[in-house]
Structures are given as structure tokens and as C-alpha cells.
Amino acid sequence: MSGPDGSALVVNGRAHPIDGVPSHERLLDTLRGRLDLKGTKEGCRTGNCGACTVLVDGRSALSCLVLTHEVGDEPVTTIEGIAADPNGRRVQQAFLEEGALQCGYCTPGFVVALTGLLSESPGATAEELLTDLQGNLCRCTGYAAIVRAVRTLRAEGP
Amino acid sequence: MGFELVAPRSPEEAFRLLEEGAGAASVLAGGTDLLFDLDRVTTAPRRVVSLRHLPWRGHAWQGDTLVVGSTEPLYELERDGSVAARLPGLHTAIRAVGSRALRHRATLGGNLARAAPASDLLPILLALDATVEIAGPAGTRRMELDRFLLASRTTALRPPELIRSVTVPAAPSVYLWQRVRPANDISQVGVAIAHPGPAVYRIAVGGIVPRPRRLPGAEAGLLSDPPPGPERVRAAEEAAREAPFPSDRRATEEHRRRVVRALVERGLVHLAGGAA
């Protein structure tokens, strides 16, 4: 069954036809199951953990709580495309330098969410960024290095 | 599990699509609450009517009153400095909803229509005397939020009616909540206090059954401006006595009573110029 506006889903700059995607399918499942973009992780599937965070038109969204056909023509950016964004590259570099991951499952969500925050609020302080990162959970509880990565980013200035 | 997804371009078309689907149609705004249910088959609609193309986004001040379109995402209110300045309690409550990623999509109208008993927005909107504008095939009607909310997950909306906008008069206000975890958790209780005029206080509480409500007994004891210590304590004790708290997996009734007592007093101190 095709969706109501059913044309294409633009992910990381590439358009994918979604006419065959069922109306009830979530963006998370389309990305992972159809487009083979496995960097976006499924955590809780209830909007509580942030592991599935992607950018929709530059703003963070929980891809487990978005129907694929509801995205319309707004461009989607996943972790696979985040390095094309200068803020995304800076976040990746900071996470790399601080070793801000343990098992790594939550990392794509953190990187994408933080990239979105930097674009939305370029002047935000480290504390403000950390407050708004509270939607992302790390089950390894490896927060100390993530906090260091955020402070590193802010020490560089906006 | 499967359903037909439709995205009408006008309210009239939306009403028609909802009427055709009588009883088996669900309304989709931001989807952050509905999709949670759809995954658990607590709701199994045959048709889902998306409001994303309706011209109801946006918010604006009309004098001292904020008018919010029902499909306005919460984040648009959060990032507007005039909302933080003129409706501080509402701003705090919005920031308490989920995460930034959730607030990018979740809408004010959706929060009201879904009417969760633990909603962080309902107590502050009750305290601020918000009004709901309801659109239907026969025209629009307005209703005080207190009359709109009937019970847990139940409102006065009569299908195929939709919320068109929410009207919120500006007032000094405060919202305080208690949770197990500060982030990404649901409040055990939420206390909202608005102070629209000299010696006028409106107190509402959430996390109670069957729905968030005002506490007229607690309000009635606040006669001074600002209320002195003993008056604040009496109001807080009355609030804790008056509200019908449940015991559930989030908190016991006794815990909720103690927290509400503390939060009401703290909120009154905050409105009198002290630290919250």
C-alpha cells in the first residue's frame, strides 16, 4: 500500500522511493530494514532512550516514533551522513578524542542529537548542551567521557 | 497492525475522513503518544488521520493572551523567549515533557486531546485558565480546559471534532514536578500555581486520578499578597489533603501527598520572589 503523499524519502542527500512502504512503518525500520542504514539503533522503541535519534530537517527526532510517510519532503540525516555537517564532524572528533563510548550502542544517537543541538543553539553553554542531551541514555553508564567530550567542544568555542 | 494513513489538507476534509472511519479512526498530530499505543495494539485503528497539512501550526500573542495552534510543536513554544518571560510556568512545564527530540514533534493539541493523567502540561494550563477552541463540521466552540477534561484519557471532544487552538492568558506562574529520574521520566506529581492578580492564586495538580484538577480548597485560604508563612503552610496542607492521590507503580499515595505539600509551599515562596 502506498502512503498518502508517497513519493520519496530523502536520506543523507539521496532520494529513496517509498511507495511500497506500508503506512504503519516507522522511520527507524525503513532506515535499518530497507535502506540498510544500520547505524541508527533501536533501543527502547518507546521514545525514552534516544538511541534511534536522527535529524529531520536539521532537528533531532526519535525515528521509532515517526511514521515514514509522515516525514514528507523534509530531509533526513542519519549517523552515516552526519560527517557531511561541519558540526557533526566536530562532535565525532570530540567523541573520538575523549573515547566517549563503551559498548557504542548509544553513540550514534548521542552524536546526532548533539549535532542537532549545536546547529539549533550555536551559543549554548556546555551545561545547556548537557541538559538537552538528557534524552539520550547510555546503559553502560559511560557518561563521564561523554560529558568531557561536550566540554571539549565548548572549550573550542562555537 | 496495518492502517490507512491519510493527510487531509483542510479541516473539512479531516472531519469527513474521521466520520467515514467512525469508531476506527485515530487522529495523528506529533505521534509521540499515539505511536507508543499503536505498537502495543492498545489502539488498532483502520484509518489514521494525520493533521500535518492542516493550517493550524503557529502561535501568537493577542494582547496579554497567547493563542497556540493545536499542531504547534512544543519546541516552538520552548524556544520563544516571550513564552518564557510571560508564561514562565508553562515554559517550565514544556521543558519537562520528554526530550528535545520528542518536543520537536509533540504538539500542544496532542497533549490535551490525549489527556494523560500524568501530563505535565495539563496542571499549568488549568492553573492559567486556558481555553480550548474546538472545531467540528458545524463550526467552532470554546470550552474552559477544566470542562474539556473529563477523565483519564477522556475529553469532551465529540468525533469528528478536533482541537483547533488553545488560548492561554499570561500570568506569573510556576510549575514544579517530582520524578524518580529528572530526565525522560513521567512525573509522580506536578504542581502548578498561577498568580494572575493581587492575592489571587490558582493551584492545580497532576499525577492524580481521574485527571489533573484545580484545588479550590487550597486556593481559598490564600488571602494575602504575598501570603505569609503560616498561610502558605495551611494552603500546602489543604492541597495535600484535598487531592485524590493514587498509589501506583510510580509512587505511593502517601509519597505523593508529602511531595505535593512541599511543592505547593515551594511554589508560593517562588511566586513571592523567593527561590523555588
pLDDT digits (tens, 9 = 90+) for A26-53: 999 999 999 999 999 999 999 999 999 9
Say yes or no to pLDDT of A3 above 50. Answer: no
* The three-state (H, E, C) secondary structure of A16-36, written as one string: EECCCCCCCCEHHHHHHHHCC
Q: Could you say which of A1, A46, A60 has the minimum Cβ distance to residue B36?
A: A46
In a domain, A140, yes or no: yes
**Whether residue A39 sits in one domain with residue A70:** yes
8 Å CB contact of A70 and B1: no
The answer to whether B276 faces chain A, any CB pair under 8 Å, is no
What's the complex ipTM? 0.94
- Phi and psi at residue A14, to the nearest 5°: -115, 135
Evaluate whether residue A1 is within a structural domain. Answer: no
Looking at the structure, tell me whether residues A60 and A22 fall in a common domain. Answer: yes
Q: Among A76, A105, A133, which residue terminates a domain?
A: A76
Residues A110 and A130 in one domain: yes
Strands A53-56, A76-77: parallel, antiparallel or unpaired by DSSP?
A: antiparallel
Shared domain check, A92 and A72: no
Question: Do the chains contact at B36 and A66, CB–CB below 8 Å?
Answer: no
Choosing from A40, A56, A76, the residue where a domain stops is A76
Distance between CA atoms of residues B42 and B77, nearest Å: 30
Instruction: Check whether residue A86 and residue A150 sit in a common domain.
Output: yes
If one counts the domains in chain A, the total is 2
In order along its 276 residues, chain B shows pLDDT tens digits of 689 999 999 999 999 999 998 778 999 999 999 998 887 766 789 999 999 999 999 999 999 999 999 999 999 999 999 999 999 999 999 999 999 999 999 999 999 999 999 999 999 999 999 999 999 999 999 999 999 999 999 999 999 999 999 999 999 999 999 998 887 889 999 999 999 999 999 999 999 989 999 999 999 999 999 999 999 999 999 999 998 898 998 999 999 999 999 999 999 999 998 755
Where does the pLDDT of residue A97 fall: very low under 50, low under 70, confident under 90, or very high at 90 and above?
A: very high
CATH of the domain at A21: 3.10.20.30
- Which chain A residue has the Cα nearest residue B45? A24
Please name the residues in contact with A109: beta carbons below 8 A apart, sequence gap of 6 or more: A40, A41, A43, A49, A50, A51, A52, A53, A136
In a domain, A134, yes or no: yes
**B3: which chain A residues are within 8 Å (Cβ-Cβ)?**
23-24
Q: Are residues A87 and A61 in the same domain?
A: no
**Do A55 and A15 have their domain in common?**
yes
CB of B57 within 8 Å of any CB in chain A? no
- What three-state secondary structure class fits B272? coil
Domain stops at, among A45, A76, A107:
A76
| Nearest residue, CB atoms, A134 vs list B2, B7, B184 | B184
A148 and A92 inside one domain: yes
Give A-chain residues touching B4 at CB under 8 angstroms: 1, 23
- Domain assignment present for A64: yes
Residue B140, phi then psi, degrees to nearest 5: -115, 155
Cα–Cα dist A89/A111, whole Å: 9
Any domain includes A2: no
Domain harbouring A86, CATH code = 1.10.150.120
Q: Is the pLDDT of residue A9 over 70?
A: yes
* Integer Cα distance of B215 and B152 in angstroms: 17
Within a domain: residue A110?
A: yes
Q: Are residues A29 and A51 in the same domain?
A: yes
Cα separation of B157 and B134, whole Å?
A: 8
> Are A62 and A88 members of one domain?
no
pLDDT over 50 (residue A2): no
Distance CA A57, CA A40 (A): 17
Distance from CA of A123 to the nearest CA of B (A): 13
Does residue A38 share a domain with residue A99? no
Answer whether A42 touches B (CB < 8 Å): no
How many Å apart are CA A156 and CA A126, to the nearest integer?
11
Alpha helices in chain B (DSSP H): 11-20, 34-39, 74-78, 81-86, 88-95, 100-103, 108-114, 121-127, 145-148, 216-220, 229-242, 253-271
**Contact assignment for A117 to B183 by CB distance below 8 Å:** no
Looking at the fold, whether A128 and A64 belong to one and the same domain comes out as no
Shortest Cα distance, chain A CAs vs residue B18, angstroms: 15
- The tally of CA atoms less than 13 A away on the side-chain side of residue A46 is 8
Interface test with B, best of A41, A60, A65 (most B CBs within 10 A): A65
Question: What is the structure's pLDDT at B142?
Answer: 98
Q: Which domains does chain B have, with CATH numbers?
A: 4-50 (3.30.43), 59-169 (3.30.465.10), 173-271 (3.30.390.50)
Asked whether residue A141 is assigned to any structural domain, the reply reads yes
Structural domain containing residue A57: 8-76
Amino acid at B39: D
> Per the domain annotation, does A3 fall within a domain?
no
